[in-house]
C-alpha cells in the first residue's frame, strides 16, 4: 500500500496499519542484525522547530539503521534561515533539492499540512503544535498490540493534558478504527479533551467517558496512558498550569489498583507524573514504548521511501 506524506492519524486505514505493523516486526529483526544497507544513498532531513529527544533521535537512528543518512537542524527557529525571515514554504522547497524525505516538528498547528502541500518529497509530521503527532500514535498503538495482544475490546484511560496534548488526539483517531474500544478521558477541568475529538468518537460509535477520579478508572482499564502537563503550552495562564500540575500522579498506590495484566504508557518526557518507583514494575511500558518508536519509524520510512 502506498502512502506519501504522513500528516495525520486519520490517513491510516486498518489494512495500512496491519501492513505497517508487519513491517515493524521485520524491522525489529533488522535492528537485531545491526541494520541494513537497503536505503543507502537516501537522505532524511530532520527539521525541528520545537525541542525533541525521542522523535528526532529515533527517526535519525531509524534512517541510519536502514542504511541512509541524515541532515538535521535541531533548533530550527534559531538555527535555520527561518530566523532570518524565510517562510516555511521556501525552506521546504529548498530542502526538496537536498533530501528524499523530510521529518518536521513545528510549533504551529497545520504546519505539516502546509509543508506537504508544496513538497514533492514525503513530509512526515513529527508533531505540529497542539495539532497531531501521528507517528507517536502509531508507535503507541504498536506498543499496545505488542504488550496486550490486541486492540479490539480494550479499555484505555488517557490522563493529564488532553486539551493541549497532540499525542492523545492522534491516538484517539487511531483507536476509533477498532471495535468495542472504551476510552476514559481523565483530565483537570481546564485541560479536558476537545470537542472535535469527542465528536469524532461519537461519529464512529466509540464509547467514551469523561472522568475525574483516576483511582476509579485505574482499576477498570487495560491501559493507563499518562501525559505531562505541558507548561510551555500555557503562555501567561500560569494559574491554570499551577492548578493542573500534580493532580494526577501514577505512583505505586495507583499501580496497586491496576489489573495484573495492564500497562502504564507515557509518550515521555515525564516531569513527575509517574514516580520513578513505578519503573521497575513489569506494567511500566513507557521505555519499551519509546524503543518501539525506532522500529515503527523504520517501517514508516521504508513505506514512504518505497
Ligand atoms: N514523545 C515525544 O514526542 O518525545 P520528544 O518530544 O522527546 O520527541
Considering 65, 105, 106, 297, which one is annotated as catalytic?
Answer: 105
- Give the integer Cα–Cα distance in Å for 39 and 303: 12
| 232 Cα to the center of ligand 1, angstroms | 14
Considering 65, 133, 245, 266, which one is annotated as catalytic?
Answer: 133
Is 252 close to ligand 1, i.e. is its CB under 6 Å away?
no
> In testing the pocket of ligand 1, which one of 105, 269, 292, 293 has its CB within 8 Å of the most ligand atoms?
269
Q: Are 68 and 39 in contact (CB under 8 A)?
A: yes
Q: Are 108 and 76 in contact (CB under 8 A)?
A: no
Residue 1 included in any domain: no
* pLDDT by position in tens, the chain (length 306): 789 999 999 999 999 999 999 999 999 999 999 999 999 999 999 999 999 999 999 999 999 999 999 999 888 888 888 888 999 999 999 999 999 999 999 999 999 999 999 999 999 999 999 999 999 999 999 999 999 999 999 999 999 999 999 999 999 999 999 999 999 999 998 899 999 999 999 999 999 999 989 999 999 999 999 999 988 888 888 888 888 888 899 999 999 999 999 999 999 999 999 999 999 999 999 999 999 999 999 999 999 999
| 51 Cα to the center of ligand 1, angstroms | 8
Same domain flag for 117 and 249: no
Considering 2, 29, 33, 84, which one is annotated as catalytic?
Answer: 84
| 49 Cα to the center of ligand 1, angstroms | 13
Name the closest-CA residue to atom 5, ligand 1: 52
Same domain flag for 261 and 116: no
**CATH code assigned at 98:** 3.40.50.1370
| 80 Cα to the center of ligand 1, angstroms | 20
Residue 257 included in any domain: yes
Same domain flag for 142 and 225: yes
The angle subtended at Cα 187 by Cα 51 and Cα 148, nearest 5°, is: 80
Expressed as residue numbers, the domain containing 206 is 134-290
Same domain flag for 61 and 162: no
Residue 24 included in any domain: yes
Same domain flag for 269 and 237: yes
Is 55 labeled as catalytic in the residue annotation? yes
Closest CA to 45 of 55, 57, 60: 60
Amino acid at each position: 500500500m502506498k502512502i506519501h506524506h504522513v500528516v495525520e492519524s486519520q490517513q491510516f486505514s486498518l489494512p495500512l496499519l496491519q501492513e505497517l505493523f508487519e513491517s515493524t516486526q521485520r524491522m525489529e529483526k533488522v535492528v537485531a542484525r545491526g541494520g541494513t544497507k537497503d536505503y543507502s544513498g537516501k537522505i532524511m532531513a530532520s527539521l525541528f522547530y520545537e525541542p525533541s529527544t525521542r522523535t528526532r533521535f529515533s527517526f535519525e537512528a531509524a534512517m541510519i539503521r536502514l542504511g541512509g543518512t541524515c541532515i538535521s537542524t535541531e533548533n530550527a527557529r534559531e538555527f535555520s534561515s527561518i530566523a532570518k525571515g524565510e517562510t516555511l514554504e521556501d525552506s521546504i522547497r529548498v530542502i526538496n533539492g537536498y533530501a528524499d524525505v523530510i521529518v518536521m516538528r513545528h510549533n504551529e498547528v497545520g504546519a505539516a499540512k502546509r509543508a506537504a502541500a508544496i513538497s514533492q518529497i514525503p513530509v512526515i509530521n513529527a508533531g505540529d503544535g497542539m495539532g497531531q503527532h501521528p507517528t507517536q500514535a502509531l508507535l503507541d498503538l504498536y506498543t499496545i498490540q505488542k504488550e496486550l495482544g490486541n486492540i479490539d475490546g480494550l479499555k484505555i484511560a488517557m490522563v493529564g493534558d488532553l486539551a493541549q496534548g497532540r499525542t492523545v488526539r492522534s491516538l484517539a483517531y487511531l483507536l476509533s478504527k477498532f471495535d468495542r474500544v472504551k476510552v476514559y478521558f481523565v483530565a483537570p477541568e481546564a485541560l479536558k479533551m476537545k470537542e472535535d475529538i469527542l465528536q469524532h468518537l461519537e461519529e464512529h460509535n466509540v464509547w467514551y467517558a469523561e472522568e475525574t477520579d483516576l483511582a476509579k478508572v485505574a482499576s477498570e482499564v487495560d491501559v493507563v496512558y499518562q501525559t505531562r502537563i505541558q507548561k510551555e503550552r500555557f503562555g501567561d495562564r500560569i494559574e491554570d498550569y499551577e492548578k493542573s500540575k500534580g493532580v494526577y500522579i501514577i505512583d505505586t498506590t495507583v499501580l496497586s489498583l491496576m489489573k495484573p495484566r495492564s500497562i502504564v504508557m507515557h509518550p515521555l518526557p515525564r516531569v513527575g507524573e509517574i514516580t520513578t518507583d513505578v519503573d521497575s514494575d513489569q506494567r511500566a511500558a513507557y521505555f519499551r514504548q519509546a524503543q518501539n518508536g525506532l522500529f515503527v519509524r523504520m517501517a514508516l520510512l521504508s513505506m514512504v521511501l518505497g
